[in-house]
Amino acid sequence: MAVNSSFSVGDVVVIERKRRPWRLTTVQSIQGDLLQVNGGHLYSASTGWRLDATHGKSERVTPLTPARMDYLQLVQFQKAVIGLDITRVPPERIARLAELAKAFSEALQTDFTPNDTDTA
């Protein structure tokens, strides 16, 4: 199944692993069906699959779409939250972060309201 045979040099594309967006990269060169991205990895321009025996059909290049960008932004958000040391957040940022936490909770349809067992 063809992914997109109309990639162009300089395009920002998405590398997917196990059919999930993994990272952004740039098309460096295209020669026939060989598409090379920043970092030197080669992919089939017609199928998108990586041309490497190690990764085979677990990694492919795909066009950047709003949905893929949304997924990558959510991954970055998750990493930032996991690494957040709340004891070091300046007091003036707490209210804004609490608003974001509430919006995130509502989007997930999950209640993050603290209860009496959650107090430190």
21 class by beta-carbon count within 10 Å (0-12 exposed, 13-18 middle, 19+ buried): buried
Range with the lowest mean pLDDT among 22-26, 94-98, 110-114? Answer: 110-114
| Same-domain status, 21 and 58 | yes
Q: Is the pLDDT of residue 110 over 90?
A: no
| 47 shares a domain with 82 | no
CB distance 61 to 3 below 8 Å: yes
Strand partners, 14: 24, 62
- Domain co-membership, 75 together with 50: no
**Tens-place pLDDT, residues 40-97:** 999 999 999 999 867 667 899 999 999 999 999 999 999 999 999 999 999 999 999 9
Which range of residues forms the domain containing residue 47? 12-64
According to the model, what pLDDT value does residue 113 have? 67
Residues 31 and 59 in one domain: yes
- 60 shares its domain with 74: no
Q: Are residues 60 and 17 in the same domain?
A: yes
Residue 29 within a domain: yes
Distance CA(37)–CA(93), nearest Å, equals 39
Domain assignment present for residue 40? The answer is: yes
Burial (CB count <10 Å: 0-12, 13-18, 19+), residue 64: middle
